[in-house]
């Protein structure tokens, strides 16, 4: 949603069933983490996605993803062997 356009908090909230207060809290956290950037235009604050920060997070998570993929693959193999032995 924010990857392709800037949006106000209200416009973002309109896409969810949660309250505006809940969405605003999430936006605040994402802004503090620099995942979202904000830009003041008159009285409105527009939020947009920070792809550089997401890449940084993805790079950090990648080794863990590989580790968990390997573990789940091993678990799947064990479960297949277990079910075929029954």
Whether the CB-CB separation of 71 and 35 falls below 8 Å is answered with no
What are residue 44's phi and psi, to 5 degrees? -95, 145
CA separation for the pair 79, 61 (Å, rounded): 27
CA distance 52 to 32: 15
Domain over 1-49 is classified CATH 1.10.150.130? no
Q: Please write the tens of the pLDDT for every residue from 54-77.
A: 999 999 999 999 999 999 999 999
Q: What is the pTM of this model?
A: 0.69
Instruction: Decide if 43 contacts 25 (C-beta within 8 A).
Output: no
Question: Domain ranges in the chain?
Answer: 1-49, 51-86
pLDDT tens digits for range 5-36: 899 999 999 999 999 999 999 999 999 999 99
Supply the DSSP symbol for 33. Answer: T
Structure tokens at 62: 């990648």
């Amino acid at each position: 949603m924010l990857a392709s356009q800037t949006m106000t908090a209200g416009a973002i909230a309109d896409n969810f069933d949660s309250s505006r207060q809940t969405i605003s809290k999430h936006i605040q956290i994402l802004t503090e983490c620099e995942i979202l950037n904000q830009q003041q235009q008159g009285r409105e604050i527009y939020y947009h996605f920070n792809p550089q920060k997401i890449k940084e997070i993805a790079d950090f998570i990648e080794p863990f993803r590989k580790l968990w993929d390997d573990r789940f693959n091993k678990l799947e193999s064990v479960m297949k062997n277990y079910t075929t032995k029954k």
